[in-house]
Amino acid sequence: MKPKLLLLVTSDPRTSARPAEAIRIAAGIGSWKKAEVTLYLRGPAVLSAGEWVDELQEEDNFTRYLPIVADFGRPVYVQAGAPELADAGELAVKTEAINDDQLAALTAQATYVLRF
């Protein structure tokens, strides 16, 4: 059975390059097909999946690598009710909004959790 990696992204992509780096790492690791990679965006990090990434740090990583992550066969999970969802515009990839209980279940199923 493949290990499960959950990348939990909470940093604000308007002021930090960490979300862009997390998405780049997710795409790279997932491409190896040695682990099941799941991406979760919380709070301001949900802007990473939005249509207006040109004002975010390391904007090229979002347009280049987020579609790769979306092709892994799992949705990109986002925080349900995140106020930033309204600011994100149309989301660039298929997402699924989950609440904190669902996030806890996802975390419990993961072999590894990385937080950015």
**pLDDT in the model for residue 89:** 85
The residue among 69 and 85 whose pLDDT is bigger is 69
- Residue 75 is given by DSSP the state P
pLDDT exceeds 90 at position 52: no
**pLDDT in the model for residue 45:** 97
Element (H, E) at 97: strand 95-98
**pLDDT in the model for residue 90:** 87
What is the overall mean pLDDT for the chain?
A: 95
**pLDDT in the model for residue 20:** 97
Q: What is the phi/psi pair of residue 35, to 5°?
A: -150, 150
Q: What is the phi/psi pair of residue 76, to 5°?
A: -85, 120
**Torsion region of 89: left, alpha or beta (phi above 0 gives left; psi -120 to 50 gives alpha):** left
Query: pLDDT grade, residue 85 (50/70/90)?
Result: confident
Compute the average pLDDT of residues 52-56.
90
Compute the average pLDDT of residues 89-109.
95
Distance CA 23, CA 94 (A): 15
Q: What is the CATH number of domain 4-115?
A: 3.40.1260.10
**pLDDT in the model for residue 38:** 98
Distance CA 94, CA 31 (A): 18
Q: Distance of CA 88 to CAs 8, 39, 62, Å? A: 18, 17, 13
pTM for the full model?
0.94
